[in-house]
Amino acid sequence: MDISNAALVVIDMQNGFVNHHSRHVVPAVADLVARWSAAARPVVFTRYFNYPESPYERFFRWSRLQEPPETDIVPELAEAAGHAHAGVDKTGYTLFTREAAELMRRAGWSDLVFCGIATESCVLKSAADAFEHGYAPWIVADACASDAGPEVHAAGLLVARRLIGTGQLVHAQHVMGQLATHLTGPVLE
């Protein structure tokens, strides 16, 4: 992981996706965002917005996340989102809207580190798209969750291993170590 050329991408940490299955990840994501920001590294937040007659309504009969408070970033991360390098609003699974793809290209980041909700959909699709766009995608497995439950989270990680590589799944402790090394520089013996 090239921390010096990486952005942390916080996927859809919105009220409408936080429930009894996913609430446990909010403190982990908040801690990761705080430490990443303290290292003066860029953070990008995404927000998903559903709309009338969307594919989610047509095929799933799912009409949630069309307006506040469901679309709002959770209170624990709202201030950080307001100070983020960028915010990306999207109406589909992926981070890679036309505007976001241009943002990534202009920023020149090589690595994108993903956390948030939901592992099996928006996190997975964003990481796979990053892979296909030539970025090194990293999924922080213990800073992701599924609002559909732990089995679905595990299924998302299983598919992620096949799509982007087993080595691209990391834990927050690994990322924190990389950040610490970035701040202090490598230890020379």
Q: Which domains does the chain have, with CATH numbers?
A: 3-184 (3.40.50.850)
CA-CA distance, 102 to 53, in Å (whole number)? 28
pLDDT of res. 1: 86
Displacement of CA 73 from its chain's centroid (Å): 13
Displacement of CA 101 from its chain's centroid (Å): 15
Q: What is the DSSP letter of 147?
A: T
Residue 185 scores a pLDDT above 70: no
Count CA within 13 A, CB hemisphere, residue 88.
26
pLDDT tens figures, 133-171: 999 999 999 999 999 999 999 999 999 999 999 999 999
CA-to-CA separations, 40 to 76, 78, 91, 102, 110, in angstroms, rounded: 20, 18, 29, 22, 17
Beta-carbon count within 10 A of 61 CB: 7
pLDDT tens figures, 74-98: 999 999 999 999 999 999 999 999 9
